[in-house]
Every structure is written in structure tokens, then in C-alpha cells.
Chain A
């Protein structure tokens, strides 16, 4: 991602830290970034969400260092005990420490959510801009793929291929989750590309002989950086929900590893009698998704002046 200007005045200037700059207000273009930062900070929910996510990350990675128990470790002196000084969140039927397990699950769910958000937005921007920029058969084939993946219920397909995750790295799971999350964004990116393609600075670059992929990465995608940042954030929340949902049925993160979804599935049956098995995992999951959604909403208010209902907008080419 480079500059976030609506109109790139000097389109060939590389500006690699702009995506971060749009968020944190550092950089060479004070006006727009300051404006965005100020708007973002003024939105209490966005600041709250961002703070909560940072805290959750710190907790998930520092928590296991503080507690003496590992997530797979078994304390044979304490089965199914309520929260105490020794086991902060209590123990399971097998004597595992619920705090250590919850922190491990939180790590997995947060990392998977973030990775899926980044990968799927990257994929969407490449496919969408290629379809919009090249047009013709490229466009038709890619949009047909998008339509197909939208008809295929992603949840069902991931469940079907889930036996292949067993005994493999969870990164495959991340890739497949991302593979079913990018389609709607790709359509929006395509629509925006169609209008950007005709703009003067793109035409100028094309007539100067800049190759198509360079035009896409230097001139077209940077001009929708704000949309892509918002989308990645929103996808993070959706991805955490998708991951925990699949793991809940045993179709996602595989044992011995844990995710918030597998923890909730295990604790749910005894949720009323031994609430600590269920409440902590469920609570952290809700806080994580809520904060991601709040940041996404705040970013949309700050970056997108028109603040239209994005998921519902269709590109003008297609009824």
C-alpha cells in the first residue's frame, strides 16, 4: 500500500509506510493523515476497540509466561476445581489449567483472525483489480469464480476438507479460511478499478509505457487503501467467528492444539453446572470480535467520508 490520497498527484512516488501512516499519523503528508487520526481518536468506540485488541494480544502472549501451568499440562491433584489462587480460571475434568488453555486458545484465534484478514484482503485486491483493469475474458473468468465461491457455502466446503488438516500445520486452515473470505471485497475493488482505470494519472502512466501490474500496484490499489484497510479489519472479526465456529465442530484447529472454539465446545455441556469451563473462553471470544468490529466501524467513520453501507453496495456495471 502506498499513499492514501483520493487523487495521487505524483503517482510514481513510492511511499511504503503510508498504510501504517494512515493509522498512526506519522509521515510526510500531515493534512489527511492528521485528519484521519483525529477522526479515529475522536471515535471513542474505535479507540476502545483498538486498546482492547492490544490488551488481548498482550494478555494472550504474556499470560502464559506468568502462570506456572502449560496448556497441555495436567494437575492430578485438582480435577474440575472452580477458580482459585492456584488455578486462576479453575481446572477441567482432566485437571488442565483453564487459564493456560484460554490464553493458548486466544493466541490461536487472534493470530488466525489477523492472518485471514490480511491474506483475504490481499487476494481480493489482486483479483478485483486484475478483473477491473484487464477486462474482457480475464474479468469474465474471475467474476465467474467469485460467483461460484459465493454460491459454494464456505462453511460446508471447509468442513468437508477438514480431515486433511489433521496432523498438519494450522496454516493450511488459515489459507483455506482466507480462500472463502475475499469474494465480496473483490467485487467492490473491481468496481472501483473500473472507474480509476479511466483517470488521467492512470492513462498517463499507461502511455508512458508502465507495465500493467506496476500500474495496478502503484497507482490503482494505493488509491483505495482506505477501503482495503477497513475491509481487512472487518474481515478479522468475521474470520475469528468463522474459525471458532469450525473449531467448535472439530473441523478447524485440531487437538492437541486448542482454539477458543474447541474450548467452548468442550465447556458448553457443563456451562450451567461448571460455568468456568465455558464463561472465560466465551467472554474472551466476544470481547475479541467486538473490539475488531468496533475498530472497523471507527476506521470506516474516519477514512471513508461518504460512509456508505459498504457490504451492500454493488458496482454500477452490474445490476
Chain B
């Protein structure tokens, strides 16, 4: 079991490095960070462009640039942006912003999604089941950026109905907010509600669909009837024998669900004006900045690695056949 998990971990680390190398090389090949400087009117002297080229190390071969950057990363230095800002300084706050969104999104999404799935499976073809099915079909067909707009509209209506600003749409806290610790926390919460809803709703829809069909498979099984026949209550049989088995496919889905979440967070950060990793990435591509793009890809790859590994771990915890092998 330990060897299995370690082997998977080693495999994931190699994949992570290759993924970052690929992203770095592609970015270095396609980006033209000098275009903005050269496009200025009046055009800057050639010496200035040349100095910038030297500064960004554009003359060196890509592998050399990559390993130079990676050497810095190992020592905690992620390089500088094209405008000369140190990436490491901004990294910590941005990672915090994104992780907050992702952690809440995953936890609430998985828990509520599984519960909704179980509920609609146990009440198959009844009102609750139909409601859940319609909900997840609708939500999974609405792109995140449209969903964010709809939520903003809902928030606007709520604010108008309440007469004050109950929910905010921009940023994670009101700029230059003055007040006690509790008031600040409340302010942050008011900013958090809509982005979190935007990220959680698709997750709930995603997990509940699969949980429903996994649970339906289990509900028809012989061992569940046996459990009932030997005298367990319906609830105990369902949760102790049924849900545990029905959760196994969810463990493998978890890694995919997380990928979905990561892409979603790019849109949500951009639309709700959060300065996290996702919005940084979009800015990095627009500014043609290789270092930013490589840093965010490394972050994303590490997160996917962790979620993949967690999914293996959950799988092993839920399915004894894996542990024995």
C-alpha cells in the first residue's frame, strides 16, 4: 500500500516537471515580450530594446533559460516579470486568494454534491430527484462566465431589495476598509458569497450526477438486501454498506472535478476582480510574460498532482482490494 502510493507520487512529480517544462518552452517560443516596447511611438532606440532583450535573457536557448528559472525556483526565487516585479513577492498573497476559493469550492462541492446525489438516488423518480436532475443539467450547461453574470444580477436585485449593499461583486475586501476585526471578517464574507456560489454550484451538479448513478447501482445490489434482511435499519444499511461502496467511483472522479474547478477559478477570479493565480495567468498571457505563466502552470500542476494523489489515497482507503494487493 505504501509502495503503491509512493510509486504514484514519484510518477506525479516527474509529470509535474515535464508539464512545467512544456509550458515554459511553449510560452518562450510563442511569446514576444519585446513587441510592446518596439510598438511604442516614437520607437525607442535600438540600444534600449537590446538592453531589455539582455535583461529578459531572450538570446539564451530555451533549455538554459528553463533550468536557470528552475534553479531559482528550488531556492524560492520565481524570477521577475517583464516589468521587473519580483514574482515571489506577489506569489504568497495570490496563492492564498486562490486556495481559499478552491478549498471552499472543493469541500462544499463534494459534500453537498454527494448528499444531493444520495438523496436523489433514494428518492428516484420523485419530486426531489427530478428537481436535482433538472438543477444539475441546467447548471452543467451554463458556462462559468455566464453563471457569474447571472449571480451578479441576482446579487444586484438582492441589494436593491435590501436597500443596502448586502453582497459585493468586486475584489475580496473593500479597499482601505477601516473597522474592527469582526467587521472586516463580515466584509470579506460579503465579498466571498457570490464567487463561492459560482464555483460551488457546478461542482455540486457534477458530483451529484455521478453519485446518483453510483448509488442507484448499489441500491439494486444483493448485499444491500442482505444487510436489510439481517435486520439493519434502512438508514444504517444505506450509509454503512451502500454509501461506502458508492463513494469509490467518486474518489477517481475527484481528480477530474478538481481540474474543472481550477479552470473555473480562472474565470471567477477575473470576473469578480480577485487577484489570485488564475487572473494572474490571464494577465501573464496578455502581457506575454513567460515567468508568470510558468509559475502559474507549476502551481496548477502541483495542485492537480496533490488532488490526483489524494484521489489514489481515498481510493485505497475506500476499496480494501487495493490495499491488499
B252-A268 in contact (CB<8A): no
Question: What is the minimal beta-carbon distance from A163 to any residue of chain B, in angstroms?
Answer: 5
Q: Does A73 have its Cβ within 8 Å of any Cβ on chain B?
A: no
Question: With the chains together, A160 CA to B30 CA distance in Å?
Answer: 8
B23-A160 in contact (CB<8A): yes
Question: With the chains together, A264 CA to B19 CA distance in Å?
Answer: 31
Q: Does A22 have its Cβ within 8 Å of any Cβ on chain B?
A: no
Q: A160's contact among B26, B249, B262, B304, by CB below 8 Å, is which?
A: B26
Question: With the chains together, A162 CA to B286 CA distance in Å?
Answer: 10
Question: With the chains together, A308 CA to B214 CA distance in Å?
Answer: 8
Q: Collect the chain A residues with CB atoms within 8 Å of residue B270's CB.
A: 249
Q: Does A225 have its Cβ within 8 Å of any Cβ on chain B?
A: no
B149-A153 in contact (CB<8A): no
Q: Collect the chain B residues with CB atoms within 8 Å of residue A314's CB.
A: 252
Given A160-B23, A312-B249, answer yes or no on A319-B312 (Cβ-Cβ < 8 Å). yes
Q: Collect the chain B residues with CB atoms within 8 Å of residue A290's CB.
A: 137-138, 141
Q: Collect the chain B residues with CB atoms within 8 Å of residue A157's CB.
A: 22-23, 26
Q: Collect the chain A residues with CB atoms within 8 Å of residue B73's CB.
A: none
Question: With the chains together, A226 CA to B175 CA distance in Å?
Answer: 55
A153-B301 in contact (CB<8A): yes
Q: Does A251 have its Cβ within 8 Å of any Cβ on chain B?
A: yes
Given A164-B30, A294-B137, answer yes or no on A307-B213 (Cβ-Cβ < 8 Å). yes
B266-A285 in contact (CB<8A): no
A311-B300 in contact (CB<8A): no
Q: A272's contact among B153, B255, B325, by CB below 8 Å, is which?
A: B153
- In chain A, positions 236-265 with a C-beta closer than 8 Å to chain B are 237, 241, 244-245, 248-251, 264-265
- In chain B, positions 203-217 with a C-beta closer than 8 Å to chain A are 209-210, 213-214, 217
**B270 (CB) vs chain A CBs: closest residue:** A249
Question: What is the minimal beta-carbon distance from A247 to any residue of chain B, in angstroms?
Answer: 10
Q: Does A313 have its Cβ within 8 Å of any Cβ on chain B?
A: yes
Question: With the chains together, A184 CA to B293 CA distance in Å?
Answer: 26
Q: Does A159 have its Cβ within 8 Å of any Cβ on chain B?
A: yes
Q: Which of B10-18, B87-95, B177-185, B225-233 lies on the face that meets chain A?
A: B10-18
Q: Does B171 have its Cβ within 8 Å of any Cβ on chain A?
A: no
Question: With the chains together, A308 CA to B16 CA distance in Å?
Answer: 31
Question: What is the minimal beta-carbon distance from B192 to any residue of chain A, in angstroms?
Answer: 21
Question: What is the minimal beta-carbon distance from A173 to any residue of chain B, in angstroms?
Answer: 14
Interface residues of chain A: helix, strand, loop or mixed (majority): helix
Question: With the chains together, A296 CA to B267 CA distance in Å?
Answer: 26
Q: Does B297 have its Cβ within 8 Å of any Cβ on chain A?
A: yes
A309-B210 in contact (CB<8A): yes
B304-A156 in contact (CB<8A): no
A282-B305 in contact (CB<8A): no
Q: Which of A32-40, A115-123, A144-152, A211-219 lies on the face that meets chain B?
A: A144-152
- In chain B, positions 25-44 with a C-beta closer than 8 Å to chain A are 26-27, 30-32
Interface residues on A, range: 35 or more
Q: Collect the chain B residues with CB atoms within 8 Å of residue A293's CB.
A: 137, 140-141
Q: Does B143 have its Cβ within 8 Å of any Cβ on chain A?
A: yes
Question: What is the minimal beta-carbon distance from B299 to any residue of chain A, in angstroms?
Answer: 10
Contact with A along B134-156 (1 / 0, CB 8 A): 00011011111110010011001
B12-A309 in contact (CB<8A): no
Q: Collect the chain A residues with CB atoms within 8 Å of residue B308's CB.
A: 151
Q: B300's contact among A156, A162, A241, by CB below 8 Å, is which?
A: A156
Q: Collect the chain A residues with CB atoms within 8 Å of residue B149's CB.
A: 268, 271, 278, 282
Q: Does B78 have its Cβ within 8 Å of any Cβ on chain A?
A: no
A151-B145 in contact (CB<8A): no
7 closest residue pairs by CB, A with B: A290-B141, A312-B249, A289-B141, A309-B213, A155-B263, A151-B15, A309-B210
* B residues lining the A interface (CB < 8 Å): 4, 11-12, 15-16, 18-19, 22-23, 26-27, 30-32, 137-138, 140-146, 149, 152-153, 156, 209-210, 213-214, 217, 249-250, 252-253, 255-256, 259, 262-263, 266-267, 270-271, 281-282, 285-286, 288, 293, 296-297, 300-301, 304-305, 308, 312, 315-316, 322, 325
Q: Would you list 29 pairs from A and B whose C-beta atoms are within 8 A, ordered by A residue?
A: A147-B11, A151-B19, A151-B301, A151-B305, A151-B308, A153-B259, A153-B262, A153-B263, A155-B263, A156-B300, A157-B26, A160-B23, A184-B256, A244-B143, A245-B143, A245-B145, A248-B143, A248-B267, A249-B270, A250-B286, A271-B152, A282-B149, A285-B146, A289-B143, A293-B141, A297-B137, A308-B217, A309-B210, A319-B325
